[in-house]
């Protein structure tokens, strides 16, 4: 194996919400511990930029640094890209350069798995087996599907928060401002709020029937973890 690189990306609006790189750094450290590996800080690249294209300062610097046999590790596919067509082209470009890609949350997109599919496709074409060309399309479909799924999950979560306003049970008997235990659902919705401007504090207040001060305490807690 060549050298290991880590790539972390947040958007500018995430930075304004003080999310920073904490969760991605934790995921990277956990992977290193589990695999008895270490990535020097100088080979961990961070971008505070949109994932719609690859015009990112640290990304371009890393692309010049990586060589065939090296491996880049991402927490998930959205750290790599949020755009399907350009993302696919860049993925294949890196793959053809001999650079390994590992997506901790999307293992079916790891280049090791994709290359095994490529080899199967080539073998089927050489043997004139119907389906060889189809497998090449499957490779692209895997990439596009994961990007679509990530985007739809984000949109669904935002919609769920919005719809929760109308569905909230204001007769639950919970006292406004009561400090209940932070539920997984509320924690997840707060994380979405931290990175998505279309979600407002009032949405969360109404849905979970909590006071603004309580919500602020929860937001502070989630943002720091």
Q: So what's the pLDDT on residue 177? A: 41
The encoded tokens of residue 145 equal 């599907």
- Residue 44 is predicted with a pLDDT of 97
Give the CA distances from residue 104 to residues 6, 16, 80, 98, in Å, rounded to whole numbers and listed in that order: 11, 25, 12, 19
CA 8-9-14 angle, to 5 degrees, is: 130
Contact 197, 13 (CB under 8 A): yes
Q: What are the structure tokens assigned to 118, written together?
A: 């490529």
Is 36 strand, coil or helix?
coil
Using DSSP, state whether 4 is helix, strand or coil. strand
Tens digit of pLDDT at every position of the chain (225 positions):
699 999 999 875 544 455 578 889 999 999 999 999 999 999 999 998 888 889 999 999 999 999 999 999 999 988 998 887 888 889 989 988 999 999 998 888 898 888 787 777 677 666 665 555 555 676 677 777 877 776 676 666 666 666 655 555 454 454 444 445 678 788 888 888 887 767 788 888 888 888 888 888 888 888 876
Is the full-model pTM beyond 0.75?
no
22: exposed, middle or buried (Cβ count in 10 Å: 0-12, 13-18, 19+):
middle
Query: What stretch of H or E contains 198?
Result: none
Characterize the bridge pairing of strands 71-74 and 100-103: parallel
Question: Mind giving me the DSSP string for 18-35?
Answer: T-TTHHHHHHHHHHHHHT
What does the pLDDT read at residue 67? 96
Which residues are CB-neighbours of 58 under 8 A, at least 6 positions away? Answer: 7, 45, 46, 47
Tell how far CA 208 is from the center of its chain: 26
Q: How much is the pLDDT for 16?
A: 47
């Amino acid at each position: 194996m060549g050298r290991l690189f880590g790539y972390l990306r947040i958007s500018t609006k995430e930075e304004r919400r003080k999310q920073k790189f904490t969760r991605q750094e934790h995921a990277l450290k956990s992977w290193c511990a589990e695999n008895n590996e270490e990535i020097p800080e100088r080979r961990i690249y961070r971008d505070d930029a949109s994932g719609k294209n690859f015009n990112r300062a640290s990304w371009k610097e890393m692309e010049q640094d990586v060589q065939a046999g090296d491996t880049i590790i991402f927490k998930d596919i959205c750290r790599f890209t949020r755009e399907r067509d350009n993302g696919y082209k860049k993925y294949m470009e890196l793959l053809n350069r001999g650079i390994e890609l590992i997506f901790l949350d999307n293992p079916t997109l790891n280049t090791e798995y994709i290359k095994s599919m490529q080899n199967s496709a080539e073998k089927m074409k050489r043997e004139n087996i119907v389906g060889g060309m189809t497998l090449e399309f499957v490779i692209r479909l895997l990439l596009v599907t994961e990007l679509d799924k990530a985007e739809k999950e984000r949109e669904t979560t935002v919609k769920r928060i919005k719809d929760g306003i109308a569905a909230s049970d204001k007769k639950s008997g919970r006292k406004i401002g009561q400090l209940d235990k932070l539920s997984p659902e509320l924690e997840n919705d707060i994380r979405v709020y931290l990175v998505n401007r279309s979600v407002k504090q009032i949405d969360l207040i109404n849905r979970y029937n909590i006071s603004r001060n309580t919500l602020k305490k929860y937001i502070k807690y989630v943002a720091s973890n």
